[in-house]
């Protein structure tokens, strides 16, 4: 090969690499604060490392999963229990590490790769106002179920997705052998559930355990004493084709995942939902404070 042809070949390789990095990646997110925060952190981190990134938020669980499988979304952060129950029909209750290993193996068969997991376990929970729970001597879901069976009436606020999930309201009631009066179940957006619990018309709400409004609004999480809910470990999931094109993504997201646990994500969620800071500012501050984003990095 002549020197001129070698130079041309090198130039072509550099140009092709630049095009691959410039091709926008799509980071998906579901429609609640924790998901918007983690997708924004992912976007800022990738952009700081010269990736062009588009963030698509507001997805339902089924919607973002379908978009990932179709290649419309390149990656998003999912919960192990959600993927196992909703996408694979796994009802077995597995320890966190086993759940992660199982879903990693099952999704690999569908061309999806689970990257390094965080220590966040954002389980669903039933919550009551602390004073109300104490007054009615309710500490667990079994306590609540027993009172319902004995004729006490409770109103429930939930988002629509929980009504139809395989790890949702119907199976929960079967596991605990009780049922809310259908007329006493109010469906609303996730954020509205917390506000409804602050009032007096709703007794019980379906919440996320890592939501910062739980302590801020003085809510009590009812103990899942029959271990109905699986572990919901949060981790990034990426299409295999995307990871093959951009193998550096795994190494870039691992330090972020390692910094996240229940307390940390709850505090970040509270900054947005309780203290009304923007998702973008909270994400940027967290990345910079933990050395994941240099002071001069682009947002």
Pairing of strands 234-239, 112-114: antiparallel
Which residue intervals of the chain bear CATH 3.40.190.10?
Answer: 3-121+231-289
In the prediction, which pLDDT does 294 show?
A: 66
Confidence of residue 293 (pLDDT cuts 50, 70, 90): confident
pTM to 2 decimal places? 0.87
For residue range 91-135, what is the model confidence (pLDDT) as tens digits?
Answer: 888 999 999 999 999 999 999 999 999 999 999 999 999 999 999
Sheet holding 204-208, edge to edge: 185-187, 156-158, 204-208, 124-129, 219-221
Q: Which of 17-31, 118-132, 153-167, 282-296 has the lowest mean pLDDT?
A: 17-31
The full 3-state SS of 154-198, as one line of letters, equals: CCEEECHHHHHCCCCHHHHHHHHCCCCCHHHEEECCHHHHHHHHH
Q: How far, in Å, CA of 32 to CA of 162, rounded?
A: 14
Which residue intervals of the chain bear CATH 3.40.190.120?
Answer: 124-221
CATH of domain 3-121+231-289: 3.40.190.10
pLDDT tops 50 at residue 19 = no
Q: How far, in Å, CA of 54 to CA of 73, rounded?
A: 9
Higher local confidence (pLDDT), 199 or 125: 125
- 128 and 200 in contact (C-beta within 8 Å)? no
pLDDT tops 50 at residue 72 = yes
Instruction: For residue 128, list its beta bridge partners.
Output: 220
In the prediction, which pLDDT does 4 show?
A: 37
CATH of domain 124-221: 3.40.190.120
- 184 and 156 in contact (C-beta within 8 Å)? yes
């Amino acid at each position: 090969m002549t020197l001129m042809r070698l130079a041309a070949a090198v130039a072509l390789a550099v140009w092709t690499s630049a095009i691959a990095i410039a091709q926008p990646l799509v980071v998906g997110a579901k429609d609640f604060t924790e998901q918007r925060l983690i997708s924004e952190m992912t976007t800022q981190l990738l952009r700081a490392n010269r990736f062009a990134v588009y963030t698509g938020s507001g997805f339902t669980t089924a919607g973002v999963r379908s978009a990932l499988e179709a290649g419309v979304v390149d990656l998003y952060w999912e919960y192990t229990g959600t993927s196992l129950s909703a996408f694979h029909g796994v009802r077995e209750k597995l320890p966190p590490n086993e759940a992660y290993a199982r879903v990693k193996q099952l999704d690999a068969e569908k061309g999806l790769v689970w990257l390094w997991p965080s220590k966040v376990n954002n389980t669903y929970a039933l919550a009551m106002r602390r004073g109300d729970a104490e007054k009615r001597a309710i500490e667990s879901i079994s306590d609540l179920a027993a009172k319902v069976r004995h004729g006490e009436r409770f109103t429930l606020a939930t988002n629509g997705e929980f009504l139809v999930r395989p790890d949702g309201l119907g199976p929960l009631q079967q596991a605990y052998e009780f049922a809310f009066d259908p007329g006493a179940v109010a469906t609303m957006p996730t954020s509205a559930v917390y506000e409804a619990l602050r009032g007096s018309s709703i007794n019980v709400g379906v919440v996320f355990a890592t939501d910062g409004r739980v302590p801020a609004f003085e809510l009590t999480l009812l103990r899942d004493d029959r271990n109905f809910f699986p572990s919901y470990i949060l981790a990034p999931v990426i299409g295999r084709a995307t990871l093959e094109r951009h193998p550096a993504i795994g190494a870039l997201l691992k330090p972020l995942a390692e910094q996240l646990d229940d307390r940390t994500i709850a505090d970040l969620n509270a900054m947005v939902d309780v203290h009304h800071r923007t998702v973008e500012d909270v994400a940027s501050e967290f990345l910079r404070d933990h050395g994941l984003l240099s002071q001069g990095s682009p947002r």
